[in-house]
Amino acid sequence: PLNQEIDTWLPKTYKVPSGSNKSIQYTYGSPPKISVKLQEMFGEPSSPMVADGRINITLELLSPAQRPLQITQDLAGFWQGAYKEVQKEMKGRYSKHPWPDDPATHQATSKTKHQLNR
């Protein structure tokens, strides 16, 4: 029973809005962390949490090429603030991928715009 409780409080994976399961990295002395493509977090209004909603998961948001764009524990704040700069820069570099004006309500995806329109 204790193992089940620990798995409930500190799960090994988190299902992101795109439907993918991402491994949660636990490191002593640091908050839990997930590395995920930014587009796969569209539609998520706030940061995911563990420990019965007590601990924010740190998100390492990645470009379509899997390069770090931003690290945040405040997804809502990122959508409202720094996302605009990231969107501006990445829209030109990765034009085949969606960069919506309102990412908090946009459909999450791991696909390109062309793949989505099929």
The mean predicted confidence, pLDDT, of the chain is 92
Q: Which of 3-12, 29-38, 68-77 has the lowest mean pLDDT?
A: 3-12
- pLDDT tens by residue, 46-94: 999 999 899 999 999 999 999 999 999 999 999 999 999 999 999 999 9
| Band of pLDDT at residue 118, cut at 50, 70 and 90 | low
Q: pTM to 2 decimals?
A: 0.89
Q: What is the DSSP code string of the chain?
A: -HHHHHHHHS-SEEE-TTS-EEEPB--TTS--EEEEEGGGGTT--S--EETTTTEEPEEEEE-TTS-EEEEES-HHHHHHTTHHHHHHHHHHHTTTS---S-TTTSPP-SS-HHHHT-
